[in-house]
Structures are given as structure tokens and as C-alpha cells.
Structure 1
Amino acid sequence: MGRRTQPPITPVPALSRIPRVRIGRPALLWWGWAGALFLLYATISARRHALVRTTGYDLGIFEQAVRGYAHLHAPIAPLRGDGFNLLGDHFHPVLAALAPLYRLFPSPYTLLVAQAALLALAVVPLARQAVRVLGRRPGHVIACGYGLSWGIASTVGFDFHEVCFAVPLVSYALEALARRNWRRALAYAAPLLLVKEDLGLTLAAMGGYVAWRGPRRLGLAAAALGLVGSALEFKVLMPYFNPAGTYAHAANLAAAHHSLLSTLALAPLDAVRPEVKATTLVLVFAPAALIALRSPLALIALPTLGWRMLSTNAFHWGTAFHYSAVLMPVVFAALVDALRPYAAAGDPLARRHVRASLATVAAVTLLLVPSFPLAQIAHRSTWRTSAHVLAVRDLLRRIPDGATVAASNRLVPQLTSRTQVVLFPTFPVRWKLYDTDGPIPRPTAQWIVYDRVPPESWPYPPGTWPYPGPRQDREYDLALARYGYARVAEADGISLLRRRS
């Protein structure tokens, strides 16, 4: 009886045409990109802080909270108010994860470097999935597109924010969703509830995606967890921690119309007007040449886009600050998913489509870079320390460690690691030069340091900066003298005052 031989295995046609990569070498691609992006982000953040371009709102606030955690205290942020627990502003207990690092290195640079590492880490699953689905060279394009995207650039270019923890979590969850590893995806997404109160909606969106494409019960359970978790944070936890007993940003969620019915009916129009909203919506998907919109993974961006476009706070509508960071992994994961069928098809026309799409993504990336903060690394001013910055450093050295200080917005994060600092003038404030109480509330800090140059805006409304001219400045100084403060030093528009004992 002859020995049986197995017939040869014929590979599945679609799978056989997916680009093959060696195991091992591709890891250098995604980890190499992560390392390079970390150095880029950390360098820009560090130079911004060294050049006194960071602010009390928000780097100083977050440092005060992390400093509290590091000393096993509540995350109290005096910059937000006397005894203000920052969990009553936004719900982000994940910040406690930085406490051990901050205890070893008590500096604002600790927060900035940690943020750079977390944002860079998010490129790993995106590049890995791109290499797996599209090939090695496309993996470089996806990594570069994410790393230089304007949403990440805007985050790096403005202080530190808790959302940096969400970016890698979303990125890893999206990779797992694309690979249909449903439980792993939701395991990565569940900690979003500890990052920020609105991210429970993103968890719910991922749960809905799992219910649609995978195990229904698992997906519905995750969606319920996200919705209930966010509701508890909005309605119970943040009001509990807030000294006022309410949600601090409830005004941003106020109805834009007289009734709930009219608000719901007009929501689609309100989401694209004024025109800055429509511009932002286009720019969110522009780094992926709008191709990401072909993938159902793009739907996971809807919760973040929805609350931003329907908010009454104009800061949420544009491309500045950190609000778009969590959207960038969604855009590039959806891009890879949208190109997957063409890469699997393998015919010449499909290959040309993939190449043309990636060439467009690379072109858009390079086109947008000069308009956003990552371009600062090429600016000559980034590498030059001005006389004004030297004057700031010299005056701040005169303030002893442990002192109580009232400082103007850009001077605050230069002091938060070694003093107890509040914003000067106390925010909010009546913008009248003189009334029965004087032009400013009575300060209580031992030291006051404020900078007239350059004029500031955030967190003050445009046009209300309280040093508009010499006459008003003299009246301001008279008021401080009346409160018992004497000028210790002045240099290049910076004034240092000390309260008489």
C-alpha cells in the first residue's frame, strides 16, 4: 500500500497578493519613527518653554495638579481658584500616572517630555498596520503623515494636555479593530474614561462598531459602559469635585436655540456654521486626502467632532490647541483601512490607485506643515535666546523657593515647580481702571511679577489686556503701591514687586 501524499496547498488569491514583509526589520520602521517623532516633539516643546512661550493656562494648571498627586495630595490647582480640585474642571485621574516621574523630576519639562513620548508612541500601531496591509514604503508615508499632521502639531505647539494619554490608546484600539481583535480593541479603549469626560463617547462609538462588525453583546456592553461612564462624570463626579457643585463647562453645552426640538432640527446646520467649522471639518480629513471617509472606522471621529462643532465655545471650532489630537489616529487608521481592498486586489490599476493616494497624502502633509507649529523647528528665532527671555530668567531667580507669587500668564509655568503661584491679575477681573475697589482685586501673594511684552491674549479676551498704555500702567502701579507692594526690580517691560512685611 503506497504512502499517501497531500495535494499542494493553493494560496487564497486575495491574500497572496497582499504585500509580504519580513518579521523583525519592519519593527525598526515603526519604532524608528516613534523615536524620531519623540525627539521632534520634545525639542519643540522644550524650546517653547525655554523661550517663555508656554502659559499658566494650561501648562501651569496641569503641573499644579500633577505636583499635588506627586505629594499624595488632591490635584489642587490654585490657578483655577482657591482650593480648586482640577477633577472638577475635567475628569482626568490618569494624570496621577505622571506623579512618580514628577516626584523624581519636578519640572514642567517632565510633563512636556511625557506628552511628546505619548504622542510619538501612537505612530507604532498605525505604521505597523500600514506595513502589514500596504507594504513597507506605504508604512513610511502613513507614519510621516500622522507624525507631521496638523492636529498633532497644534497639540505640541500649545503646552500640555491630558488628551495626550488618549492618542496612543485610540491608536492601539483602532489597530485591533482593523484586525478584528474585538476584545483587545475594547481593552485599549476602556481607559479613555479616565482621560477625559467626553472620551466615554469615543468608547461608545468603538463599542457600536464592534456590535456592528463583531460580537453584538460585547459591543453593546462597551457602548453602554462609555455612555454611562461619561454621564456619571458629567452629572456626578465633576460636580462633586467642583467647589461650585456644578459642571465647570456647562455653558459650552447650552442650547443654541429656544427649544430642544429646534436645537436638534438645526444641529446639522449649526455644525458647519460659522464657516470656521466647515473649514475644520475638511482639514480634519485633509491629511488623508479625504480617502479616510471611505472607511467605516472614520465614524469613530463623530463624537469628538460632534461636541466640538455644537459647542458654544469658539475655541473648539478651529484648528488651534489640542482638540484635534485624538482625531489624527482615527483619520490615518481609516486611511489604511480604505486602501486595504486595493492593496489586496493586486491588479495594476489598483496598485496605481494606492500609489496615487499615498502620493497625495505625502503632498498634503508637506503642504500643511509650514502653517502649523512643527515648522517652528526651522525658525531662526526658536534657537535664539532674546534679551527679553534673559531678563525674565534674571528677575525670576530673585523669587525664593516656596514663596507665594502672582504672575502673568507666560511667567506662571516658569515658577510652578518651586513656588505657589496664581495668575496675575486674578482671573476673572473687572476691566475698569478705577472703581471703589481699585483697578484690580487685592492681591495676597508675597511677590508679583508681570510682563508687559509681548501683549497677551489667552486666557483673557482680545483687547482686555490690562496694560494698554503708559497712563493706565502708572495707575496700575499706584494701585499695587496702595495694596502694600514695592517695586524690587524692572527690566525690559517686566516688573517684580514684593509686599512690604
Structure 2
Amino acid sequence: MEVVPVQVAARPAHRALPWAWCAALFLLYGTLATRRHHLLRTTGYDLGIFEQALKAYARLGPPYVPLKGAGATGEGVNLLGDHFHPLLAVLAPLYRLLPYTETLLLAQAALLALAVVPLARWARRALGAPAAHVVALGYGVSWGIASAVTFDFHEVALAVPLLALALEAAARGRHRTAVALAAPLLLVKEDLGLTLAALGGYLAWRGSRVLGLATAAAGLLGTLLITRVLLPALSSDGTYAYGEYVAEGGRGSLLATVAAAPLDMLRPEVKAVTLVLVFAPTALLALRSPLALLAVPTLGWRLLSQHSYHWETAFHYSAVLMPIVFAALIDALAPYGARPGDRLAARHLRASLATVVAVTLVLLPSFPFGLVLRKDTWRTPDHVRAARALLARIPDGATVAASNRLVPQLTSRCTAVLFPTYPLPGKLYGTDGTPPPPTSEWIVHDSRPHEAWPLPDGHWPYPLDRQEAELKRAQRAYGYRVVARADGITLLHRTEAGPDTGTGAETSIR
């Protein structure tokens, strides 16, 4: 039976409510993301990579990224052969106008905040204004969004508002609009074609059989085309680099892998914890809606992945799930909102919303938005000041090999690569396992560890002793001279004088 939503008068205050939340969340996200960047807590992998891609798009060229390697042309690796995200180019005009690293972080903040508008609007229409505030708060400070905001920039930010808008349109019976809004998911990231297919299945179940089945087919076929044809064609080695993520998993055959999948998605226990936490911000009430099934494709590939970082709550992988689970929450509670005058329904709705708020407040301190309450988030350490002083000595347009945390401080004005080099065995390394000779004009290396979250340690991708050995090798064998040192940071410049004899001018910044 079709649920008739509560018809709430669209007073000016009600129309402004979603946009007020959007503005507040943008302020929160943008402030925290840029503050982390200014504290050297962003990384070359991935913020630097995406900035190099956008810089190339802004120059009307393909997204060649030096940080990913030299590539076949020597200009860098074509990022479209790594993950398929051509929709990222829509941000190129903004970056052309404002060519700063912070532009990416603020664009992501705006995209993530924008998703609250359709969700809050739908909640107000179906459940009333108090529910709209609860949904906006729950989504806005959910851990999936927090993890994305506090880990650089990623293309999936484009998918979050598209999903929220598409699900709102589907709830209003505007199925063609929902498909039109969700179709660009194929251009955001290759796995999101499966989410589009899931939406098609939902629309078919809701009565739009032809449209729904066509959408499901488009999602599946689009995913196959992208992963089997386009990505291998655009990659430097003719393969889809992440095709092995959901592979046979050591079980010997695809059939055995499929048979074991239900249990493999819950083992080890971190997978089960993440699965519960995905729906926890809605007090698990989202599981009562069929819309929750749209989360299955993303959860499926993550929990069956051979890489443990896909199983956890860190990084950006859960951002696309948050609009789905909160849309499912609204859908699950809609029958109670459609019974005005029913005291029992009203009581159930109030209790459900109160539980969502309680769970939201309980989870909040344990995830990255808790950084707002930490004093060190708002203090600038001497180490950061020393780093900025050394980085300022590198001229614009230079080529620089930098530590992972220093790379995004340089990508807007220099050509930056990771020091000593990103580990791609057989491509960048010699047969003895050593990196190729450095070719950058400058090297800047930070020996101080940074906050570990969400990376496994503060010296990624190499242990500190390996990095320091490469630093000495650069001086001994390749003619780099130390220009300055400060608080564990070393700045070197390559000269034509040959290996460093220890007589070059060196300054110490304190």
C-alpha cells in the first residue's frame, strides 16, 4: 500500500531549514579540512594526486599525475587508468579560477554538505520539522562523512549529493528524475555502477519495471565496460589495477569464493563491527527499509576485498553509504508520519528520533569530528612553522621529491613526487630493489612522525630508517646538498658539483 506522507506547509522557515543545515555543515567540514591541511595532516596520497589531476584538467589536458609514476609518456600516470572518475573534471573551472589546494578541500566540503538538503527536505515533508533536524544532524556528523572530511579529497564526494537527490526523487515517485540524477555515478567511480544497478532494481520493485530493469542493466553493463575495457585501455600496463581486490581470495575457484562469501563478509570481526556501524547512526532503523539494500554493492566489494583497510571505518569508503542509510531511515519512519492524529504512531516516531539523536551523540567523540574538541587542532606547533619556512625556500615551478605529508603543501605551485618513490616493484625499482636515481631539483624530507590516523604510521610509505638511508644516498651518489635543516626536516638541492662533500652552505632554522 502506498504511504501518503504528511503534507507540511512549505513556510519560508521550512524551506530555509535544509539550506541552513547545509551552510552550517559546510562551515564545519571546510574549517576542519583546511585546518588539518595547514597542520600538515593531509597527504600526497591522496590529496596531492587529485590536485595534480585537477591541475591537468584545468589546463585542458588529460589527468597525468607525476605522483603515481612517470607513465608511458614521462608526464605521469593517467589517473583515468587508475580509477574511472571523469566527472571530476567538472571541478576544473573552479580550480582554474582558484588554483589552491584548499579549493579541493572546500569543494568536497560543499558537496558533502549539499547532500543534507534533499535528505532534510524529504524528512520535513514526510515526518515534520523536528525529524528534519534529527536527520540533518545525524547525517551531518555521521562517522562516514567525518572519515571522508578528515582524509584529504576523493572523487566519491561527487556521488554523495547525487545519491541523496536521486533517493529523494525516487521517494516522491519521480523515477525518471531519480535515474537521471543517479546515472552520473558511472562517471564518478567504477564500482558505483553497481549502486546504480541496485537503484534500478528498487525502482522496478516500486512499479517502474521497464525503467528499473533498464537502469539495472545499464549499471551492470557500464561497470563491466569500465573495468574490462576502459580502465585497462587507459592504464599504463593494460590492466585494471584493482581487479584483484575481490578475487578468489585463496579459495582456489570463483565458485568456492561465492559459496564462502556470506561468512567471509563477517570474518575477521572488524568486518562485522563496520557492518553494524554503517547502520548504527540510524539506530539500525534504516534496516527496516528496502532502500538499505542499495548499500549492499559498496559493502559487498569492501567486505570481500583482500585489503584490510577496506574493512575498517577509516578513510573515505563509507561516505557514499551515509545518504543511503539516512534515506532508508526516512523511508522506514514514513508510515508513522503518514498517520496524523494517531498517538501511538506519534509516540513511536518521537522515540525513534530520540534514539537516533542519542546514538549520534554517543558515536560523535569516537570518530574524527571529535578533533574539533582537541586543543592541538587549533594550535600551530613549532614543527609546522619550521616546515613552512623551509618549503618557502623552494621556488615556484620547481620539481620536488617530498615526504608524504609535505607533498600537498607543494602541489599547487610545484611538480611534486613522493620521496623516495612510490613502491611499484618491477616498474620504478631496479632488479636489486633500489629506487631509480632521483631527478627532482629539490628534496624535502621530514623525519618526524605525524598523526597515524588514518594511515598505518606516520612515516608511510617506508620505515624511517629506509627513508633516511635514501636521503644519505641522494647526497652521496647524486649530488644533492643540504640547504637547511629544521626540527627534523631536511631541505636539499641538486647541484652540478657532484656528490655532497659536506662543504656546501647549510642553514638551520629554529
Given the two structures, how large is their TM-score scaled by the length of structure 2? Answer: 0.91
Match of 1:325 among 312, 319, 327: 319
Segments of structure 2 that go 5 or more residues without pairing to the other structure are 71-75, 497-510
1:499 aligns with 2:494: yes
| Residue 480 of structure 2: aligned partner | 485
- Residue type at the aligned position of 2:48: G
Could you list the per-position Cα deviations for residues 128-150 of structure 1 after superposition, in whole angstroms to 9, with x for gaps in the alignment? 01000110111100100000000
1:380 aligns with 2:368: no
Could you list the per-position Cα deviations for residues 416-473 of structure 1 after superposition, in whole angstroms to 9, with x for gaps in the alignment? 011111100111178xxxx99696432111100010111587878898765646x984
Match of 2:41 among 38, 42, 53: 53
Deviation at 1:23, TM superposition (A): 3.3
Report 1:343-362 matches (<5 A): 343-346=337-340, 347-362=342-357
1:186 aligns with 2:174: no
- Residue type at the aligned position of 2:216: A
Work out the CA distance in 1 between the residues paired with 2:10 and 2:443.
Answer: 61
1:442 aligns with 2:434: no
3-state SS in 1 of match to 2:376: helix
Work out the CA distance in 2 between the residues paired with 1:450 and 1:456.
Answer: 16
Structure 1 408/475 Cα, relative in aligned 2: closer, same or farther at 3 Å? Answer: closer
Work out the CA distance in 1 between the residues paired with 2:326 and 2:467.
Answer: 51
- Residue type at the aligned position of 1:202: T
| Residue 233 of structure 2: aligned partner | 240
Q: Does the CA contact (< 8 Å) of 1:171 and 1:330 recur in 2?
A: yes
| Residue 148 of structure 1: aligned partner | 141
| Residue 77 of structure 2: aligned partner | 84
| Residue 301 of structure 2: aligned partner | 307
Match of 1:26 among 4, 8, 14: 14
3-state SS in 1 of match to 2:241: coil
- Residue type at the aligned position of 1:64: Q
1:37 aligns with 2:25: yes
Task: Flag the structure with larger Rg.
Answer: 1
Structure 1 404/31 Cα, relative in aligned 2: closer, same or farther at 3 Å? Answer: same
| Residue 3 of structure 1: aligned partner | none
- Residue type at the aligned position of 2:339: A
Match of 1:454 among 429, 445, 449: 449
| Residue 129 of structure 1: aligned partner | 122
Deviation at 1:380, TM superposition (A): 1.1
Match of 1:277 among 271, 277, 287: 271
Deviation at 1:477, TM superposition (A): 1.6
3-state SS in 1 of match to 2:485: strand
Deviation at 1:19, TM superposition (A): 5.8
Match of 1:62 among 46, 50, 63: 50
Segments of structure 1 that go 5 or more residues without pairing to the other structure are 1-13
1:105 aligns with 2:98: yes
Structure 1 234/429 Cα, relative in aligned 2: closer, same or farther at 3 Å? Answer: closer
- Residue type at the aligned position of 1:137: P
Work out the CA distance in 1 between the residues paired with 2:470 and 2:43.
Answer: 26
- Residue type at the aligned position of 2:319: A
Report 1:198-213 matches (<5 A): 198-213=191-206
| Residue 4 of structure 1: aligned partner | none
Q: Does the CA contact (< 8 Å) of 1:21 and 1:136 recur in 2?
A: no
Work out the CA distance in 2 between the residues paired with 1:344 and 1:237.
Answer: 47
Work out the CA distance in 2 between the residues paired with 1:221 and 1:474.
Answer: 57
Given the two structures, how large is their TM-score scaled by the length of structure 1? Answer: 0.92
- Residue type at the aligned position of 1:321: F
Q: Does the CA contact (< 8 Å) of 1:429 and 1:441 recur in 2?
A: no
Could you list the per-position Cα deviations for residues 373-427 of structure 1 after superposition, in whole angstroms to 9, with x for gaps in the alignment? 1121221111111100001100001111111110010000000011111100111
Match of 1:223 among 172, 191, 216: 216
Work out the CA distance in 1 between the residues paired with 2:474 and 2:110.
Answer: 45
| Residue 250 of structure 1: aligned partner | 243
Work out the CA distance in 2 between the residues paired with 1:50 and 1:462.
Answer: 17
Q: Does the CA contact (< 8 Å) of 2:147 and 2:313 recur in 1?
A: yes
Match of 2:292 among 291, 295, 298: 298
Work out the CA distance in 1 between the residues paired with 2:470 and 2:127.
Answer: 66
Work out the CA distance in 1 between the residues paired with 2:470 and 2:329.
Answer: 58
- Residue type at the aligned position of 1:60: G
Work out the CA distance in 2 between the residues paired with 1:466 and 1:169.
Answer: 37
CA RMSD of aligned residues (A): 2.1
Work out the CA distance in 1 between the residues paired with 2:451 and 2:472.
Answer: 19
| Residue 334 of structure 1: aligned partner | 328
Q: Does the CA contact (< 8 Å) of 1:452 and 1:467 recur in 2?
A: no
Structure 1 350/448 Cα, relative in aligned 2: closer, same or farther at 3 Å? Answer: same
3-state SS in 2 of match to 1:253: coil
Structure 1 443/478 Cα, relative in aligned 2: closer, same or farther at 3 Å? Answer: closer
| Residue 421 of structure 2: aligned partner | 426
